[in-house]
Every structure is written in C-alpha cells, then in structure tokens.
Structure 1
Amino acid sequence: MFFLQVKTVDYVSVVTIVRPPANALSQELLQELSNLLESLENNRDSRVIVLRGEGRFFCAGADIKEFTALSNEDDYRQLAKKGQDVLQYIESYPKPIIAAIHGAALGGGLELAMSCHMRFVSETAKLGLPELQLGIIPGFAGTQRLPRYVGVGRACEMMLTSEPITGKEAVQAGLANAAYPEEELIDRVMEIASKISKKSPITVSAVLQLLKYANSDSFYKGIEKEAELFGNVFSSNDAKEGVAAFIEKRPPHFKGE
C-alpha cells in the first residue's frame, strides 16, 4: 500500500491515511482504500475500523491538480461516479467505520468522513465543502449527505459561502458525534471502538444493514444528478479559472461562463 497503513489490535483496525502534506484524496488513494476494506470485510480479527489521517490533517480535500489531467465532461462525470461508488461502499460496509477527524476535513475529505458510520472530531477541526470557491461543486455525494446531517439551510450556507465550521459547531449541527481536545481524540475514539468490538459481530452487522434503509430513493437519484452536474460544471470556463487560481494561489475571477 502506498497511501494507507493498517494496524489491527483487539478486533479494532486503525487505518491511517499517509499522503503528505494534506492527505489529499486522489483516485489512487480511494481505490487503495476500497481494496483494503474489501480485504478486511471477511477478516474475523477485524470488527471495527477507525479511519484517521497522519500529520496535520484528516484529509484536506481532493487532489485538485489531478483534475487538470481530465479533458472532457464525461471524464469528470466518471470521476465523480467512481468516487461516489467507493463512498457508497463505505456507507454500506457491514462493519462500523469511525472517522477520527483532526485538523481539517474539507471537500472530498468531508465527503469521505460523511460516508463513515460515525464521526468524532477535535474541537478545533475545520469541516466544510469549499468547492464553490474553485468554481466547481462537490462530486462525491456531498450535496446529498450534508443536508441529511445538518439540514438544508445550514448545508446551503456551508456550500454557498465555502466557509468551514469547527469541530464543536459540527457536533451542534449534527455532523459529528462528539468533539474532544485534539490530544485526546484518538484515545477517546479507541475507547468507543473497543466497546463496539465486544458486541456480537452478527448484531452489529444487522443494525448497519437496517440503517441503510434510512436512505430514500431520492438520495440515489440525487447522487446520480450530482455526478451529471459535476461534469457539466467542470467543463465551464469558471471551473478552469477556479482550479487555475487555486494552483496559482490567487483569488479566482469568475465570469459566469
């Protein structure tokens, strides 16, 4: 594995994202995560998975430079669809996956965290979907999952302003389960994971299976439409300007084209 490390102790598997400096969510990283989860799915020594990031961040966003290698609307649509499929696999996983978020979970990083069954955060963590700042939109089901947790109005505010919220605010909004001082975060998450690991794997899997029914048909229609519009938006001049401005570290100048 290039970007992930895994250590399993007492039925808890800690999966660490290692892609410095920001643990950016690339297509390779997503595929590697999917492959790793497939290998753990039938591993009887692994009952709970904790997903965390090494260094300063959980995952500070998608790998924007990777987008510049794509050339047409269909390429961008397929990129979104592949990301959505991996995150849907995570959300439907038969073992609990807990995100331990410190530093930042932005853009694709927050979309990854939202696909996990639980999210615990450091009090000062930054969580948000700032894609509109780059002239693009979320593409890994963020437009559908965020309103489910924080409500339509708050989700609209977060996406349209591109302003992140803190870990404490995420708990208040319903986006995270609990917030802890950063130095306590992983220990507290491991305590929770340990409690879950002592339950019957049969009952845990049954509850996770039943929770999937909370997603309505409109959710799946929504993520399909998101992938379509992700491709449409990415083919615009504004998207090209936004990505170029991000790479060049300057403010974007959008023209609505």
Structure 2
Amino acid sequence: MTEPLLRSADEGAIRTLTVNRPDKLNALNAATLDALQAAFDDAAQDAAVRVVVLTGAGTKAFVAGADIAEMAELTAVAGRDFSARGQRLMRSIETFPKPVIAMINGFALGGGLELAMACHLRIAADSARLGQPEVNLGLIPGFGGTQRLLRLAGRAATLELCLTGAPIDAARALALGVVNRVVPAAELAEATRALAAGLAEAAPLALRGVLDCVHAGGECALGEGLAYETAQFGLMFATEDMREGTRAFLERRKPRFAGR
C-alpha cells in the first residue's frame, strides 16, 4: 500500500498535518503542494478544527526544500507555474483563519523555510537548520522566501541568507525573529502540543480577528491598519464569546468559548 504524501491526525480541536516523504526529506513536489492545499482548504471549513500544526515525517527534516529532481526538468514557463502554485499555497496558509503552527523538527531549507514562514507561529528543535540555499542551484527563492524573510528578519539577514545560501542554526533563527521558540528536540512535540492546546481553548473569533488585523496591517499604512483594528474590535462586541469571556473574568472562572 502506497503511503500518503500527507498524513492528517486530529487530537481534539488540533489537526496535525505531516508532510510524509521522509525518504526525500519531505521535499515539496507538485503533488505534495496540491495535497497541502486540499488539506488546508478542508481544515478551514471544518468547524471542529481550531488550530493546525504542520510538521514533517521522520527526525531529519521538516521540509528540506522543493523537489530538485522535479524542478530540474522544468521549462521557464513551467518553472513560473510551479512558483505560482507554491505561492498560492503559502498565501492560503498565511491568510488562514485559524492559527497555524510550524513544528520544525529538522531541516527547513528552501521551500521548507518558505512553508514555515507562511505559518503564523514557528517552534524549532535546537537541532534544526534553516536557510534559503536556492542560489547554489542557480535559482532564487520562488515560494515567497525573499519577501517573508525580509518582513521577519530584515534586509541585511535576508540578503545574507539568500545571497550566500548558507543555512543557520535554530539559535540564530530565533535571534533574527525567524522562529518564535527553540526547544530541545526531545521536547519539541510536547511544547508544540501545549501551545496548540492553549490556542484551541481560546476564543476562535478573537483569534481570527488578531490574524486578520496583523495580516492587514502588514500590507497597509498605519492609519489604515488602525482603522481596520477598530472595526474588528467593534465586531467582537457582537459575539457570544465576548460576553462569555467578560462574564467568566468577572465571575473568576475559566471561559468556555463556542466560536459564536
């Protein structure tokens, strides 16, 4: 029986998606990109899912990049289409209405780092290595690496990583703001589960409001972003979750958010 390119498992309101090509270090080929797109589309529509965790199979790699064997045969037009396909996926993850956590358990290189950067939060094992090595293949990042790395780490670090192609360790990635946390490899799964569990108990509409505001604010002027935040803030007062959250605070109890 052929193993699926992507494994999906639910634990309560947490859905874990695992890129499942360990023999290829979980490299992203066209079929895997399509499987990921379908999985995120499904999770977006599933009301039972409140948080998505994304990781790679095995202990060596989160995703070690795009599939070089597949890319080597592409024409210029096909290469552009492959980039567009990857960018559509990354954009859908970046704008996903529920928190997405990248659990970086090993190499996150090229398309793998681009995939991780599209997620909302990133937890890395201390043994992880991250980078944009495309220049070593005569290429540039094609799934949004130059743009998202620029926004996370700044111009100097982006130019260093993309021009030299040299990977960095998890500690430097943390210092640059590319990842949110670094934990010992043996503790990665539990640390990610704890973060996901906390988010799964939070108010879903408030989480979406935060995601929408931060995403919008990153693409507009400050005044426009502030106006958008004010509008979203006002909308929260129309939700049952806001009433439950404020009542629970005043009653000194844990809130029970229903996502309404």
Q: TM-score range by the shorter chain?
A: 0.7 to 0.9
TM-score by length of 1: 0.82
- Equivalent residues of 2:174, 2:180 under 8 A apart: yes
Deviation at 1:217, TM superposition (A): 6.7
Query: What is the correspondence of 1:196-235 to structure 2 with a 5 Å cutoff?
Result: 196-216=199-219
Aligned-partner Cα distance in 2 for 1:171–1:50: 19
* Structure 1 residue aligned with 2:13: 11
Match of 1:61 among 38, 62, 65: 65
Amino acid at match of 2:99: P
- Equivalent residues of 1:8, 1:45 under 8 A apart: no
Aligned-partner Cα distance in 2 for 1:199–1:9: 16
Match of 2:124 among 121, 125, 129: 121
* Structure 2 residue aligned with 1:79: 82
Aligned-partner Cα distance in 2 for 1:185–1:3: 22
Question: Secondary structure, in 3 states, of the residue corresponding to 1:58?
Answer: strand
Give unmatched runs, 5+ long, in structure 1. 219-257
Structure whose alpha-carbon radius of gyration is higher: 2
Aligned-partner Cα distance in 2 for 1:183–1:165: 20
Amino acid at match of 2:175: Q
Count of residue pairs the alignment pairs up: 217
Aligned-partner Cα distance in 1 for 2:217–2:170: 25
- Aligned-pair identity (%): 37
Aligned-partner Cα distance in 1 for 2:83–2:103: 24
- Equivalent residues of 1:30, 1:83 under 8 A apart: yes
Amino acid at match of 1:62: A
Question: Secondary structure, in 3 states, of the residue corresponding to 2:140?
Answer: coil
Deviation at 1:68, TM superposition (A): 2.6
Give unmatched runs, 5+ long, in structure 2. 222-260
CA RMSD of aligned residues (A): 1.4
- Equivalent residues of 2:22, 2:61 under 8 A apart: no
Amino acid at match of 1:9: E
* Structure 2 residue aligned with 1:145: 148
Q: Higher mean Cα deviation, 12-21 or 113-122?
A: 12-21
- Equivalent residues of 1:124, 1:168 under 8 A apart: no
* Structure 1 residue aligned with 2:104: 101
Aligned-partner Cα distance in 1 for 2:125–2:82: 30
Q: 1:93-133 CA distances to partner (integer Å, 9 max, x unpaired)?
A: 00111000021100000000000001110112100000001
Match of 1:29 among 14, 32, 37: 32
Deviation at 1:147, TM superposition (A): 1.1
Q: 1:6-55 CA distances to partner (integer Å, 9 max, x unpaired)?
A: 11112111111111220001111111011011111121221000001111
Deviation at 1:85, TM superposition (A): 0.9
Match of 1:133 among 133, 136, 148: 136
